[in-house]
Amino acid sequence: MWWRKAREADLDQEVRAHLDMATQERVERGAAQKEAERAARREFGNMGLIKESTRDVWGGGSLDRLMQDLRFGVRMIAKSPGFAAVAILTLALGIGANTALFSVVNGVLLNPLPYPEPEQLVELRESKPNFATGSISYPNFMDWQKDNRTFASMAIVRGNGSFILTGLGEAEQVDGVFVSSGFFEQLGVNPVLGRAFAPGEDRIGAAPTVMITGGFWKRKFGSAQDVLGKSLTLDGRDYTIIGIIPATFDLLGSLRTREVYVPIGQWSNPLLMNRAAGLGIGGIGRLKPGVTVQQARADMERVTQNLAAAYPEADKSIGAAVIPLRKWLLGSVEPFLLVLFVAVGFVLLIACVNVANLLLARSTGRAHEFAIRSALGAGQGRIVRQLLTESVLLAAMGGGLGVLLAAAGTRAALDVLPMTLPRAADVAVDVRVLVFAGAVSLLAGICFGLVPALKTRKPDVHETLKEGGRGGSGTRHRAQAALVAAEMALALVLLIGAGLMMRTLAALWNVNPGFEANKVMTFGFSLPPSMTNASPEAIRAAFREVHDRFQAVPGVQGVAFSWGATPLQGDDEWLFWIDGQPKPASESEMNWAIDYVVDYDYLRIMGIPLKSGRFFTAQDDEHAARVAVVDEVLANQFFAGQSAMGKRLHLSGGEILEIVGVVGHVKQWGLDTDDKETLRAQLYTPFMQLPTKGIGGGAGVVVRSDQPATVFPSIRQANNQMSSEQVVFGAQTMNEVIASSIARRRFSMILLGIFAGLALLLASIGIYGVVSYLAGQRTHEIGVRMAMGAQRKDVMRLVLSQGLKMALLGVAMGLAAALALTRLMADMLYGVDASDPLTFAGLAVILTLVSIAACYIPARRAVKVDPIVALRYE
């Protein structure tokens, strides 16, 4: 910038010439040389400032000044590395936590669904009296597809398929999905190899075909190109492999990976063509361009009403639920991510307040420097700009470190807590996250830099210089106290949020699920595929043999097969009417109950209490009279005021059951939500009396053991000794089942807990720092007081009360803010009110105690002040 230097010299000379001429004129009028020079200078004014504003006119100066400010900022930061390290680390924590959570919000909520025109995609469900979003029956789906006018396409997806794979290494269970033709085209997914299902290939009776995922292709075939046309043996049937689905494709909303996709028509379930059956089938539709969800709903209303008229027995009061796919997949995640985002924002605010306080304390010390600079011609805007440059520089360093922390921390957190978030794989630090981090850093830098910068804005040059650098004014102390109170308030809000979540979790853990979870584990079981077409007698014999073999495994205290619903996992319903009442005209007018088809030992294994009558015995088998056991809810709902014992139920399938016992209710739908569900009646029937049609190759198994977490390998061993094609899979203890049913709340609690802990730590450091600083400023005063006879405890009280005043103000503000904000998270709470007085009061007391502890250290130090030294310090 040589031209700049030349102009600088030019300006210098111009100003000097001006002064010389003014001096000379005064001398000519008779003034003494010295006197004239001084007068000329006084008349000229602040030379530095005038040069500065003249330079401003030249333009191009702002970049120049920025570089100058940056250089100076770096030098200032390097000069006090301790201060810089604390500030940068504090900011890194705040910005890092925000960036981490934003990368989650970005990946899960902000990024569009990975399909072309995702806003046209909707989830399709049947709305039924007991289920707002129930399963679609296959015949109804085909009529929907045919009769609608608003959809470009519709496809079926039934996610919970489970197949036994044989003939390719050790027999294993694989998770699969039943879909209709057009499913992949609708989502815009192209096979990496081969083709997708052709129209008609999904019909019942079509030749068996299968598509496999990239992961499965790699695992089982080493990604060999010649895999197309080979056959895959699933449940004993040969399927021709026709295409490979990209490894990146993920069936959204599912938290498990699926490996094989099979046309819906291949499903051997005898109820597939039953119009009233609920088989867990969902649908995905693509609206025609320009069609709104409301229009589609109106259209489907018409379609379902026509079906209800045509098939009253099955379709009376069956409607269609049309839900935008994004809302269906992510609607439940949104509120809890929002709460976490607010919480983490508070952490950053506290971090900013802390750094602002540090800067304030430092700017008091630098008052002398600023006075000198402004005397030398620095404009006020210039000094503010310099301070802001310094704080933004600090924020940028903190932000850089924070992004690194976030990148490492996010993955770690998601790996520790899987199964809580859909689309967790989409969470990454991308451009948008970096832009966010940059913006947050800049904003934070301006926020925490502005307060001290404005405080130093109007330095009284004269006074400050006279004072000789021993600084400190009342307004600055008030600002610091207000900032500390604010961060106390923010910390209290977070503590209360985390406290409410912890009480929620505690309340949930104390909910009695209706069974004893501690000693029970469960897994899936499948007979060899060769048994599929065996006679019911042979299948029952095989189950009995397996039962005895598992029962003999060391550590196993009881084994029971279970079919139908499993507590807190899958549900299954049966329809019935009570003997003596007329048979309802349609299925929707029948009574519904959750069915558990279980072995006679089930009640003891699960620890469900027997209320009256008896449970099943080994004699309640296929040869005995059909019996049933009901839960208290069913008994009270249908036989209120009388005994349920001996009453008879007609199942929609035609069987008649006699009730022989009543047992306790099990929280099928979840620890928190079960009470609110309408369908809660439960019906138990003996496993061996399962209709011969329904008895197939697979069942769930529940095992009672003192070591539920470690007994499974021995069971697997016993199983493999029986047959290499017989498979056990998916072992879980009941405690794990309960834990995963509340995983999302636990995830929120852990994160809120971390944020609250961070907030508490930062706030304590904040109040400690400010009280220490203020006590240090008052060393002289304290010395005087002690010299005048003040006792140690008086001094102690003096310092503590100063801190306590800030803390209490903060606590009061925090309580008010929390009262307003915890309402946001009311939906996440259970068993505790959003304004629970105990949590509020308890945490307010804890925060106050922590701040007293933080103030105690500087108070102790103040007490040790030696009056002689303090006074001499002057």
Partner 1 sequence: MVEKKEKYQNRIELLQGTLDLLILQTLQWGPQHGYGISVAIRNRSGEILQVDTGSLYPALHRLEKQKWIKAEWKVSENKQRAKYYQLTAAGKKHLSRERSKWSRLSDAIAGVLNPEQM
Q: Which residues bind partner 1 (CB under 8 A)?
A: 10-11, 13-15, 17-18, 20-22, 24-25, 43-46, 49-51, 53-54, 56-59, 458, 460-462
Give the nearest distance from C-beta 475 to partner 1 in angstroms: 17
Residue 746: other Cβ atoms inside 10 A: 17
Give the nearest distance from C-beta 15 to partner 1 in angstroms: 7
DSSP collapsed to 3 states, 180-232: CCCHHHHCCCCCCEECCCCCCCCCCCCCCEEEEEHHHHHHHHCCCHHHCCCEE
Closest CB to partner 1 among residues 18, 362: 18
d(CA 720, CA 272): 32
Residue matched to tokens 């600055």: 476
Give the nearest distance from C-beta 372 to partner 1 in angstroms: 16
Closest CB to partner 1 among residues 11, 812: 11
Closest CB to partner 1 among residues 462, 793: 462
Closest CB to partner 1 among residues 467, 677: 467
Angle at 53 between CA 49 and CA 56, to 5 degrees: 140
Give the nearest distance from C-beta 14 to partner 1 in angstroms: 5
For residue 230, CA distances in Å to 191, 234, 270, 708 come to 16, 13, 28, 41
Closest CB to partner 1 among residues 13, 717: 13
Cβ atoms 571, 593 nearer than 8 A: no
Give the nearest distance from C-beta 41 to partner 1 in angstroms: 11
| Rg of the chain over all Cα atoms, to the nearest angstrom | 38
Closest CB to partner 1 among residues 21, 618: 21
Give the nearest distance from C-beta 69 to partner 1 in angstroms: 21
3-state secondary structure of 160: strand
For residue 533, CA distances in Å to 176, 237, 529, 793 come to 21, 11, 9, 90
Give the nearest distance from C-beta 25 to partner 1 in angstroms: 8
For residue 586, CA distances in Å to 275, 318, 579 come to 12, 11, 17
For residue 867, CA distances in Å to 191, 635, 858 come to 84, 83, 17
Closest CB to partner 1 among residues 463, 675: 463
Give the nearest distance from C-beta 463 to partner 1 in angstroms: 10
d(CA 570, CA 256): 15
Phi/psi at 449 (5° precision): -85, -25
Let me know if 761 is exposed, middle or buried by CB neighbors in 10 A (0-12, 13-18, 19+). middle
Give the nearest distance from C-beta 38 to partner 1 in angstroms: 16
Give the nearest distance from C-beta 20 to partner 1 in angstroms: 6
Give the nearest distance from C-beta 37 to partner 1 in angstroms: 14
Closest CB to partner 1 among residues 9, 538: 9
Give the nearest distance from C-beta 376 to partner 1 in angstroms: 15
The per-residue b/e assignment along 698-724, b for 16 or more CB within 10 angstroms, e otherwise, is: bbbbbbbbeebeebbebbbebbeeeee
Give the nearest distance from C-beta 31 to partner 1 in angstroms: 16
Let me know if 764 is exposed, middle or buried by CB neighbors in 10 A (0-12, 13-18, 19+). buried
Closest CB to partner 1 among residues 7, 547: 7
Closest CB to partner 1 among residues 53, 268: 53
Closest CB to partner 1 among residues 59, 289: 59
Closest CB to partner 1 among residues 19, 852: 19
Give the nearest distance from C-beta 44 to partner 1 in angstroms: 5
Closest CB to partner 1 among residues 23, 266: 23
Cα dihedral across residues 200, 201, 206, 207: positive or negative: positive
Closest CB to partner 1 among residues 41, 256: 41
281: tokens are 């089938």
d(CA 71, CA 69): 5
DSSP collapsed to 3 states, 676-730: HCCCCCEEEEEHHHCCCCCCCCEEEEEEEECCCCCCHHHHHHHHHHHCCCCEEEE
d(CA 286, CA 443): 42
Closest CB to partner 1 among residues 57, 63: 57
Closest CB to partner 1 among residues 64, 866: 64
Give the nearest distance from C-beta 364 to partner 1 in angstroms: 20
Reported in sequence order, the residue ranges of 495-570 that DSSP labels E, i.e. its strands, are 520-526, 556-564
Reported in sequence order, the residue ranges of 534-655 that DSSP labels E, i.e. its strands, are 556-564, 573-578, 591-598, 610-613, 627-631, 648-651
For residue 282, CA distances in Å to 285, 569, 571 come to 10, 18, 15
282: tokens are 């969902």
For residue 677, CA distances in Å to 505, 670, 673 come to 21, 10, 7
Closest CB to partner 1 among residues 327, 462: 462
718: tokens are 């016993």
Give the nearest distance from C-beta 46 to partner 1 in angstroms: 7
Closest CB to partner 1 among residues 10, 170: 10
d(CA 633, CA 788): 79
Q: Which residues are within 8 A (CB) of 643 and not within 5 positions of it... i.e. 6 or more apart?
A: 612
CA nearest neighbour of 730 among 756, 759, 699, 704: 699
CA nearest neighbour of 701 among 522, 540, 552: 522
CA nearest neighbour of 514 among 632, 664, 615: 664
438: tokens are 């940059």
Give the nearest distance from C-beta 57 to partner 1 in angstroms: 4
Give the nearest distance from C-beta 19 to partner 1 in angstroms: 8
